[in-house]
Amino acid sequence: MQVSTEPAYILHKRPYRETSQILEVFCRNHGRLPLMSKGSRGPRSRSGGLLQPFRPLLLSWYGRGEMPSLRTVDIADVRPPELSGKAMLSAMYLNELLMILLHRCDVHEVLFAEYHETLYALTRAPVLEVVLRHFEKKLLEQLGFGLNLACDADSGEALRPDRYYAYHFEHGPVQCRPDQQGPNPVLSGHSLLAFDAGQLESADNIAEVKKLMRYVINSHLGPRKLKSRELFRAPAKKA
């Protein structure tokens, strides 16, 4: 099989032997897949410097089996996002989610476009948390795990902004007391409805929805840990 000039991003890469590397890429029309990049770590390689995460690329490859070989790499006709600091850590978090939650070779054109837009949104967003929550929600929707953010899972009634709900992973929001204790995050109906409408604005809404999505994402990850979260928690080094 041969594929030419496929829009793609590198999610992860690791060295292989002396001068090669194995790439995990996310492609618009081929989903997530591994590619063998022969000689790209060598001193005379012209492509090694281009093979970086968060850079929009056009990849061509050939071969059958579980790991095709990269033929050429070109820069897409768009300026790469300028990521640094927390925006860079946020982008690393997105890559980890895709590496873990996407099955290889499952095509997700909508999600690819969402990922592309999210990388650029991270460079200009005043509140990164809002961008991350939006991507997490879209990711789960595209994987068939969309959240119930509209009605009480027990009664079927529409959520009310003045009430509180405990969110159950495989069930959805269920009305409860605002001080209810337990493993299920408790949120106001106002926060759930704001998230559903894509209108997270207040600090309370953002904090409650972060708690919700941490719970939901962790439920999907199981025992697997995200290194990017550890980097977020690590204290900044003094200059």
For 7, half-sphere exposure in the C-beta direction (CA atoms, 13 angstrom radius) is: 13
pLDDT of residue 237 exceeding 60, the answer is no
Mean pLDDT of the 85-108 span: 96
**pLDDT tens profile 118-150:** 999 999 999 999 999 999 999 999 999 999 999
Structure confidence at residue 236 (pLDDT): 52
- For the chain, the domain total comes to 2
The predicted model scores a pTM of 0.93
Whether 66 maps to a domain, the answer reads: yes
| Sign of the alpha-carbon dihedral angle for 74, 77, 78, 82 | positive
Buried/exposed code over 78-108 (b: 16+ C-beta within 10 A; e: otherwise): eeebebeeebbbbbbbbbbbbeebbeeeeeb
Contact 20, 40 (CB under 8 A): yes
Of 98-102, 205-209, 225-229, least confident by mean pLDDT is 225-229
The band of 65, judged by pLDDT with boundaries at 50, 70 and 90, is confident
Indicate if the pLDDT at residue 238 is higher than 60: no
Token pair of 129 as six digits: 């948390």
Find the DSSP H helices in the chain: 85-101, 109-122, 128-142, 189-196, 203-221, 227-233
Domain range for 45 is: 2-75
What pLDDT does residue 42 have?
Answer: 87
User: Looking at the structure, do residues 40 and 142 belong to the same domain, yes or no?
Assistant: no
CATH of the domain at 117: 1.20.1440.120
Last residue of a domain, one of 45, 75, 105: 75
pLDDT at 81: 95
Looking at every residue in the chain, the average pLDDT score rounds to 94
Is 62 in the same domain as 176? Answer: no
What does the chain come to in residues? 239
Domain end among 24, 50, 75: 75
Share above pLDDT 90 across residues of the chain, in percent, rounded to a whole number:
88
